[in-house]
Structure 1
Amino acid sequence: MNKILQLLEESSGYRTIPVTYSFYTDTLTPIQIYDRLKDEAVYLLESGDHASEWSRYSFIGLHPFLTLQEYQESVSVTDHDQQTHTSYPSLKSAFEETFNRLKVKLPEVPLPFQGGGVGFVSYDAVSSFENMNRHRNDDLELPDYHFLFCRTLIAFDHKTNQVHIIRYVRTEEENEQMKSNAFKEAQTQIYELVERLSARKQMDLFFIDNQEEEQGAQGVTSNYDKEDFKRDVETIKEYVLSGDVFQTVLSQRFAKEMSCDGFELYRVLRHVNPSPYMFYLNFEKYEVVGSSPERLIQVANKKLEIHPIAGTRKRGNDQAEDEALADELMNDEKEKAEHFMLVDLARNDIGKVATYGTVQVPLLTEVTRFSHVMHMISKVTGELREDVHPIEAFQAAFPAGTLSGAPKRRAMEIIQELEPNARGIYGGGVVYYGFDGNMDSCITIRSVLLKDQFAYVQAGAGVVADSDPEMEWQETVNKANALFKTLHIADRIFGKEQKEDTYYA
């Protein structure tokens, strides 16, 4: 059947139709694809977890046609095609009504993500979820939610070396001739993309010495004086002893002036600190770059999953030291008690939205290693109730207990009282919510916000009754070290003074 006739036939009953094209390549990488299309691309999602199905794919989003944004309780969806702005009372209603209006036909390409909303939910969005007051000092002034819906999605399959291009065509109430013209235009635009990907383009190359010096902390400032941080650790310990909380996560935010862009920073970060969730999001006025080790919550075919992470050690200098540190972590009663508490919190979060009797803990306290640190990790699962929307499942788990504390609400109140600034993206979630109704999200840690020529990095430590203030301070620094190194290398290679130089791999 003629492709256009097939699209016309398939479009019946839908308002948004996918036009697809796939090809094989052994010369392109996701980084090269993004670089060649970066004037139009707005996000890149990848995974460095080679045990996961997600690591098989990289996803690049181009040409956003809808933007969902929230700031101070007003949720707005901007339709760039129709030049309209629609307000909604909640994040759930905004997604629900937008999906109903788009009425998307899913492409027949077997991908874990086939398009939808990609963006972040800031930690401070909890004020609308939990009816809490906002922080007194929101100096970065970020929206609580910011999602992009892209007309074009490029999926790179690392297993087969296939590139899948999906371009969504909005047909609304058009007649067949108008639909036919729209499909032909989409095909032409896809072929033009393929031609651009096929063209030779010199890309800035770089190398990273295996013995790269740890100079990343140079030029870094903090929003916390060390003694003030240690004093606040003692304050939290008093709250713990008085029975207010079992644990509270106290964090500090680091800042460093930067002259490279977010994509250049991401190129370095994916090498220095590969993680299960790697992302680059470009919102024009600011960029979000990250490599998070921790899932916030996943909803896949009604299956719920949370991965609590608590308990940390630095990586050893050799295998013997690494194994010794792992054994030390697994035998640390304080770390294990904190971890079990957060597993119970995850069970409670999933239990709010799961079918009764389906909550399980299939993995408990396993040491997982990352580039600079190792963590104790567990897995909690359940089945989503039929009357619960995936966004409601996200809200039930938000923010993660590993970034707030227990009980959550009182811990968040203490964080708001003590930390000098609103957290912004830190401790929130980077999220995709697909047209197929599936959702995945990671906690926004090991991440960088680039805004107004500054890079912001934040890291926290879980404070309990017997916490040592000096050690908690040092834990935040240890967690930030991989990002300090990334900032240093990226500025050395891609900073303004280096733009005219070429570095070869």
Structure 2
Amino acid sequence: MTAAQILEFKEKAIQYASSFDVCCYLDSHHYQDRYGKHDCLIAFGKSKELYECTGKAFASLKSFADANHDWLFGLLSYDLKNEIESLNDQAENQLHFPDLYFFVPLNLISVSGTEIKVLKGSMTVLEEIWAVNIVKNDDLPTLDIKSKLTKEAYIETVHRLQQHIKRGDIYEINFCQEFFAENAFIDPLAVYQQLTKLSPTPFSGFFKLNDKYVLSATPERFLTKRGSTLTSQPIKGTAKRSMDEGEDAAIKLALQRNKKELAENVMIVDLVRNDLTKSAVKGTVRVDELFGIYSFPQVHQMISSISCELSPEVHFIDAIKNTFPMGSMTGAPKLRAMQLIDQYEQSKRGIYSGSMGYITPDRDFDFNVIIRTILYNSSNKYLSFQVGSAITYEADAVLEYEECLLKASAIRKVLTAKRS
């Protein structure tokens, strides 16, 4: 099958899958040589499902996984932190996603290279997908995007956080802000397709849960398990791309040498190493790559890879819990950073900076970090996306604000298409 035919199939398949009440479409956009064996997984329909609130969510997921040795796809909210540590943020969230949701799919299709496989369900589903007439909706929304924080308020908050750093409360914190639109009428599938066309990334995904949608162009992996090996790949360090080849190469080199970005990255690497020791065979935690620079259409990113061997005494769900929420979205020390996030951020994060992914029948898994993502509730027409950056003592608040806008640039371009 040709690459063009595979692309056509994927377009038809996501349209077909999105007609179901529940579906999960995960697309690595041909980065799978580095990140995994599947270029694309398409799960739709449900035979069983788990909704859970913070309090006993991980215990329920463990029981659900033990009872269903099958493929599982799901969402983990950042707010699950409240059952891991003694935390309780009071900010509001109008999206109303569950804290944790997983489902056993009725149908599952894998695309790898030029090969399409039906992993679950009838082979006849391929005929039904090929028969789909692709509906192109190029009428993108022009939304009134608002921010929960003014630029001035953002800068003032960063300065307050730096006072906490000066006092020794924390070394680094990931501070986020929400952009939102009310009375937002969008076609979620069309918006997702435009977003990933503009910014194809290795952990992108479209998740539909009845009236709630995750439209993600995230480049970041949270945690994966292959056999007995756990690997986390935090991102810390961002630089813009340039259309000029020489300038772009210079920007990439500058990121590689930037002392502030290197310091941020190594602090999170140390945090992830500490988290992994809770699940690891003693002495197996290792840094496989430090300060790798990877280029995506919108940005260059600094990515490190840390791995370990999972102790046979640790349940694989506990390995997820032991590293959650991911250090790249919290800070160091982790607990104090999360307390200050609860204190200073204006919005409850919810699904943002949580994770979505899958678990295989042989208990391997792969989960992303939900960033560079649009979240949408089609019932109350509330749309939201959040962006953040790592704040250190030497951080320039104005530059951090500009970094947030850079990270949001692809989303803003899609959601304000008619104005650009």
Do the two structures share a fold, i.e. TM-score over 0.5? yes
Q: What residue number does 2:162 align with? A: 237
Q: Counterpart amino acid of 1:96?
A: K
For structure 1, the residue ranges without an aligned partner over 5 or more in a row are 1-24, 74-88, 105-114, 168-189, 209-214, 493-505
Q: Evaluate the alpha carbon distance shift between residue 413 and residue 100 of structure 1 in structure 2; reply closer, same or farther with a 3 A threshold.
A: closer
Q: What residue number does 2:133 align with? A: 202
Q: Evaluate the alpha carbon distance shift between residue 72 and residue 138 of structure 1 in structure 2; reply closer, same or farther with a 3 A threshold.
A: farther
2:267 is the counterpart of 1:344: no
SS of the residue aligned with 1:29? helix
Q: Count residues with an aligned counterpart.
A: 411
Tell which structure's C-alpha radius of gyration is larger. Answer: 1
TM-score, length-normalised on structure 2? 0.91
The CA deviation at 1:323 is 1.0
CA distance in 2, matches of 1:100, 1:467: 45
Q: Counterpart amino acid of 1:203?
A: I
SS of the residue aligned with 1:52? helix
CA distance in 2, matches of 1:431, 1:197: 23
Q: What residue number does 2:114 align with? A: 160
Q: 2:83 aligns with which of 110, 128, 148?
A: 128
Q: Evaluate the alpha carbon distance shift between residue 36 and residue 72 of structure 1 in structure 2; reply closer, same or farther with a 3 A threshold.
A: closer
Which is worse superposed, 31-40 or 269-278? 31-40
CA distance in 2, matches of 1:254, 1:120: 21
The CA deviation at 1:160 is 3.5
Give me the identity figure in percent: 28
TM-score, length-normalised on structure 1? 0.76
The CA deviation at 1:36 is 3.3
Alignment of 1:234-313 (within 5 A): 234-256=159-181, 258-313=184-239
Q: Counterpart amino acid of 1:196?
A: E
CA RMSD between the two structures: 2.4
Q: What residue number does 1:406 align with? A: 332
Q: What residue number does 2:62 align with? A: 96
CA distance in 2, matches of 1:266, 1:483: 10
CA distance in 2, matches of 1:162, 1:433: 20
Q: 2:43 aligns with which of 47, 61, 72?
A: 61
Q: Evaluate the alpha carbon distance shift between residue 442 and residue 100 of structure 1 in structure 2; reply closer, same or farther with a 3 A threshold.
A: closer
Q: What residue number does 1:322 align with? A: 248
The CA deviation at 1:95 is 3.1
Q: Counterpart amino acid of 1:150?
A: P
Q: 1:421 aligns with which of 347, 370, 378?
A: 347
2:11 is the counterpart of 1:31: yes
Q: Evaluate the alpha carbon distance shift between residue 440 and residue 50 of structure 1 in structure 2; reply closer, same or farther with a 3 A threshold.
A: closer
For structure 2, the residue ranges without an aligned partner over 5 or more in a row are none
Q: Evaluate the alpha carbon distance shift between residue 216 and residue 285 of structure 1 in structure 2; reply closer, same or farther with a 3 A threshold.
A: closer
Q: Evaluate the alpha carbon distance shift between residue 55 and residue 279 of structure 1 in structure 2; reply closer, same or farther with a 3 A threshold.
A: farther
CA distance in 2, matches of 1:343, 1:325: 23
Which is worse superposed, 428-437 or 473-482? 428-437
CA distance in 1, matches of 2:63, 2:369: 26
CA distance in 2, matches of 1:55, 1:148: 22
Larger RCO (CA under 8 A, 6+ residues apart): 2
CA distance in 2, matches of 1:349, 1:207: 44
1:175-209 alpha-carbon deviations (Å, 9 max, x no partner): xxxxxxxxxxxxxxx2542442343x43223679x
Q: Evaluate the alpha carbon distance shift between residue 284 and residue 354 of structure 1 in structure 2; reply closer, same or farther with a 3 A threshold.
A: same
CA distance in 2, matches of 1:444, 1:145: 14
Q: Counterpart amino acid of 1:51?
A: D
Stretches of 4+ aligned residues off by more than 6 angstroms: 215-218
Alignment of 1:176-215 (within 5 A): 190=122, 192-199=124-131, 201-205=132-136
* Alpha carbons 2:273, 2:306 under 8 Å: kept: yes
* Alpha carbons 2:54, 2:82 under 8 Å: kept: no
Q: 2:383 aligns with which of 443, 455, 466?
A: 455
Q: Evaluate the alpha carbon distance shift between residue 242 and residue 298 of structure 1 in structure 2; reply closer, same or farther with a 3 A threshold.
A: same
